[in-house]
């Protein structure tokens, strides 16, 4: 029987993955390893009573505790979601991001190598590529790494460690880099859930600078479907970009949320722009579409309406 160790499974994307694939693969054991930080909540897990699901409250920076988990379950694969991911928090306190995103990933790689796991899947972000101008082509898997904040720098460092373990030690690895996710279970410090919560409560919402920064939005259900494909069918050592194909400025996105919640511009509060704020992200998903027959299925208008409801 295969056993997949899922890090950060009580968080946003990890919980959506588990809720989808624990019931889809009843013959696979899923081990959720999560430190239960502010962005995680066991209430996100809808499959907690499933016989093929197990939870271990362990921080990936705690090597002895993590080692015990590997010994107890002898996983055959690792899908690594766990990460500190809030850019603002990385600017005010970068050390935690290095500890979790870099050292934590190294700990997992080392244990995976020792235990001879069959595949290590690093879940990364388009932010490692840096920023685009308005007319630049979208990021491909060949784009240079040019992170502009401590969060994205820590993820880029982790990606390079994963690559090195494939090249140096022959560990079977894959890396996926996604655009901005939205959907159920997202931590309410993130832009979309923060705006929805405040607008529904009649409070003001913050908008950085003039709101012209552009992001590509991907529904989390499309993301986890892509992760499953890459984990099972992706080529060892490869990187796959996963984009939603919906580029919106923060101002345009907020206008949609205002309309859908029955609010107006008086609910918007302009705030000082973030330091080193990347202007635009855009993902070219051609590789995963052609090689693995994946495509984003959730229309943004439909997805955001369902999320608000």
CA distances from 282 to 77, 95, 242, 249, 293 (A): 30, 28, 10, 12, 20
- Choose among 233, 236, 246, 247: nearest CA to 290: 233
Q: How far apart are CA 63 and CA 208, in angstroms?
A: 39
Q: How far apart are CA 48 and CA 18, in angstroms?
A: 9
CA atoms within 13 A on the CB side of 87: 18
Catalytic hit among 29, 34, 59, 126: 126
Catalytic hit among 151, 165, 182, 281: 151
DSSP state at residue 55: E
Residue with tokens 């993130």: 190
- Choose among 72, 51, 70: nearest CA to 7: 70
Catalytic hit among 29, 84, 127, 159: 127
- Catalytic-residue membership of 126: yes
- The per-residue b/e assignment along 115-152, b for 16 or more CB within 10 angstroms, e otherwise, is bebebbbbbbbbbbbbbbeeeeebbebebeeebbbbbb
- Choose among 227, 184, 221: nearest CA to 79: 227
DSSP state at residue 137: P
Strand order across the beta sheet in which 214-219 lies: 180-182, 214-219, 247-249
- Catalytic-residue membership of 151: yes
DSSP 3-state assignment of 283? strand
Residues annotated catalytic, as ranges: 126-127, 151
């Amino acid at each position: 029987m295969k056993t997949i160790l899922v890090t950060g499974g009580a968080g946003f994307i990890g919980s959506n993955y588990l809720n989808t694939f624990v019931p889809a693969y009843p013959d696979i054991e899923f081990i959720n390893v999560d430190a239960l930080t502010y962005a995680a909540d066991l209430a996100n897990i809808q499959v907690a009573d499933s016989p093929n699901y197990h939870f271990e409250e362990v921080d990936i920076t705690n090597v002895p505790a993590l080692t015990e988990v590997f010994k107890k379950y002898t996983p055959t694969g690792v899908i690594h979601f766990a990460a500190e991911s809030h850019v603002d928090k990385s600017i005010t306190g970068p050390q935690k991001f290095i500890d979790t995103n870099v050292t934590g990933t190294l700990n997992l790689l080392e244990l995976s190598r020792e235990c001879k796991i069959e595949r290590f899947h690093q879940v990364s972000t388009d932010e490692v590529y840096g920023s685009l101008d308005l007319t630049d082509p979208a990021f491909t898997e060949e784009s240079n790494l040019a992170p502009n904040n401590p969060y994205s720098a820590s993820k880029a460092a982790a990606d390079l460690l994963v690559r090195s373990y494939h090249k140096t030690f022959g560990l079977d690895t894959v890396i996926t880099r996604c655009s901005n996710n939205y959907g159920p279970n997202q931590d309410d410090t993130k832009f979309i859930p923060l705006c929805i919560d405040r607008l529904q409560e009649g409070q003001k919402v913050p908008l950085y600078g003039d709101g012209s920064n552009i992001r590509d939005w991907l529904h989390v259900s499309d993301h986890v479907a892509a992760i499953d494909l890459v984990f099972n069918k992706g080529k060892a050592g490869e990187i796959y970009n996963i984009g939603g194909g919906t580029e919106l400025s923060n101002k345009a996105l907020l206008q949609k949320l205002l309309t859908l919640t029955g609010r107006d511009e008086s609910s918007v509060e302009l705030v000082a722009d973030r330091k080193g704020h990347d202007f635009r992200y855009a993902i070219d998903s051609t590789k995963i579409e052609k090689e693995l027959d994946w495509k984003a299925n959730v229309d943004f208008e439909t997805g955001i309406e369902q999320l608000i409801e």
